[in-house]
Structure 1
Amino acid sequence: MSDMGTTSIEDSERQARAWLVHLTSGTATREDAEAFRRWCLSDEGHAEAFARTRRMWEDLGPAIARHDRPERSERVPPRHGVRMGRRMFLATAVGAAIAALFVGRHGMDLGVGGGDASRVRTAVGEQRRLEVVPGVTVEMNTATDIGLRGSGEAVTGMRLRGGEAVVRVDASRKAPFVVEIADARVVSVPGSSVAVRCIDSESAVTCLDGEAILSVGSTKTRVKPAQQVAFDDGGVAAAVAVNTDTALAWRNRVLIYDNQPLADVVADINRYRPGRIVITDRTLGERRVHARFTLDQMADVATLIEDAYGAHATHLPGGWVLLS
């Protein structure tokens, strides 16, 4: 569903209804969530129209539930099939559509998928640790996809297709281990631990121990402990100092945010839970956040944000939550 413009109150109301129907249809994607967020923020009338539509949607729930549940005194003859309430119907439809979408994108096997023994993936919210070759251990975070590279029977490296992972190379290993990210190569020397990340076309390398060499085109950058180098299609940024305990807290099943915009925090949290949390209010999204969540709190994180920042949350089927 693409971005929508607006020319009148009637148009805003119509577009708001269309967005609500689409978001509860079970076919909404991550791109749709971003398009919806931009639509809400592009015009105050859009957000107001959607708020009215959302309230109407919420108010209809009890009324339809009463309609679906006849009074005890009424004797309604049995009908063929089962009549589902509004929310149950939407939840079932959305759940099935999301499941189909997930299987279509990732395959049924959430570990080694597609019959390719060299490809390893984690599902949303899943973390995994494995020894890809003697002397090389990889810790995979949520929604991460890697492919092993080698020569003959020997594994010499891997490609990070998406997500993030920590690669530890034992000091006893004689050869370095190469990680490919987009058009870049990261060479981890024996005795090093390196975190690699590739999310939304933005990549980064963080060194924990030892050192790593990042090669992007003809540019080579030496990454030392507690340093991070980010890069994308626009080039390579300068190395910056980072607190690795904070940046890689996910290894302990914790997420730590220090003075970050709520919009960025929500975007990161969305990687750990099914569905999407969408902020529809610009001011709310710009609020700075100091927070610490455990991965066990992901099911309730929208409610925690709602309580902490006075936001209003609308919970839709399929794990979608609108914050305003």
Structure 2
Amino acid sequence: MNAARQRERELDTVELQALAWVRHMAAGAMTPADGAALRHWCQADPAHRAAFVLARQRWQQLGEAARLAAARNPASLHLAKPARAPDWRRRALLGGAMSLGAAAATAAVIHPPLGLWPSVGEMRADYRTATGERRLLALADDVTVEMNTRTSIAVRTEAGRVQGIDLIAGEAAVDTIDAPRAFAVVAGAGRASALSARFEVKCTAAGVRVTCIDGTVQVAHTAGTVTLAGRQQLSYDQDTLGPLVRLDAIPPSGWRDGYLRFADTPLREVVDEINRYRPGRVVLLNQRIAERHVTGRFQIHSLDKAIVQIQRSLGLEARTLPGGIVLLG
């Protein structure tokens, strides 16, 4: 029988629930509480997580089809019809219509605005810390992993043994001193592995940073392989490896001591770091102030005070909005 003529199957209960979540996110109606509920739903059952990922993929495919149609015929901006999605009831998926506005809203499913709920990538995490939370894990023999705020990791296993982790987002400190086998942290386009070392890996939208505190760490990247000794740091993105930097030349990481330290750091980077630890969001209103520099040490549990200090020292105006949002300009 021609597959195009086969009767489309009905969605089961879990698929309908996943679809409802995706449509809710794409509509821009999510709140932090909704994000927590979605994360709980995905973690409750592997079938829930799989259904959510599939629903998101289907929505993304339909959004791309709509964009392609509009590119070929701009006049169809409000008339474009979505491509057929195999094994999904089109009417159920679209809720009656699929516009380019909904296609653009697909980005909210993949990259949540203001970080108010976890991204699709974070949904596959085995462990995740909330804003301001830290967590210490003993994942393998003589290996501990400390997760910093807003960190998501997936555990890598082989033949029943933990081989390492995928650092999906955030920051993790790894202690492999006297470990019987190498432990690896995969982040972005690179892989940091060590047999006996203490090191940290930080993964953000800007790229990945690996810091070796003690021992040696090997970083394998599509652009090459580099070995870090104690008190050395290396950064990379999807395409390039940065140079080795001595820790003597940069402020040491202080998050495990409860502090954020900055030395002549652009305000945009300071704000990005504060936003990782503080509920809500600090927003810079123009690029000019984003390039101004900040030096200081701020307590993580008192970041509202830090924002006031930065505002006054740089002579900025601040406006506070509900939900912990602060506008600096």
1:305 corresponds to: 310
Structure 2: distance between partners of 1:280 and 1:118: 33
SS in 1 for 2:213: strand
- For residues 240 and 182 of structure 1, the distance between their equivalents in structure 2, rounded to whole angstroms, comes to 20
2:40 is equivalent to residue 108 of structure 1: yes
Choose the corresponding residue for 1:235, options 214, 236, 240. Answer: 240
Match of 2:135 among 111, 128, 133: 128
**How far apart in 1 are the matches of 2:32 and 2:317?**
25
CA positional deviation for 1:285: 2.3
Which residue pairs with 2:194 in the alignment?
Answer: 188
Aligned partner of 1:140 in structure 2 is 147
How far apart, CA to CA, are the structure 2 residues paired with 1:121 and 1:136? 18
| 1:114 shift after superposition | 4.7
Structure 1 segments of 4 or more deviating over 6 A?
none
> What does 1:35-184 align with in structure 2 at a 5 Å threshold?
97-104=31-38, 107-108=39-40, 113-115=43-45, 119-171=126-178, 173-184=179-190
- Greater relative contact order (CA < 8 Å, ≥ 6 in sequence): 1
Name the TM-score, length of structure 1 as normaliser.
0.64
Amino acid at match of 1:98: P
Task: From the superposition, tell whether residues 285 and 217 of structure 1 become closer, same or farther in structure 2 (CA, over 3 Å).
Answer: closer
Q: 1:268 aligns with which of 260, 270, 273?
A: 273
Q: 1:247 aligns with which of 224, 244, 252?
A: 252
What is the distance in 1 between the residues matched to 2:244 and 2:229? Answer: 9
Q: 1:296 aligns with which of 294, 301, 309?
A: 301
**Does the CA-based 8 Å contact 2:211-2:232 persist in structure 1?**
yes
2:250, 2:263 within 8 Å by CA — same for their partners in 1? Answer: no
CA RMSD of aligned residues (A): 2.7
How far, CA to CA, are the matches of 2:247 and 2:314 in structure 1? 27
Q: TM-score scaled to structure 2, two decimals?
A: 0.63
Q: Which runs of 5+ in 1 are unaligned?
A: 1-26, 33-93
- In structure 1, the residue matched to 2:205 is 200
Tell me how far 1:240 sits from its aligned partner: 1.2
Q: Distance in 2 between matches of 1:310 and 1:201?
A: 27
Matched with 1:217 is 222
Aligned counterpart in structure 1 of residue 322 of structure 2, from 314, 317, 324 = 317
C-alpha distance after superposition, 1:87-119 (max 9, x if no partner) = xxxxxxx9x823224543xx138xx94557971
Identity %, equivalent residues:
31
Output the CA distance in 2 between the equivalents of 1:138 and 1:189: 14
1:177 aligned partner, one-letter code: F
Question: Could you list the runs of 5+ residues in structure 2 that have no partner in the other structure?
Answer: 1-24, 47-123
Query: Do the aligned residues in 2 keep the contact of 1:254 with 1:295 (CA within 8 Å)?
Result: yes
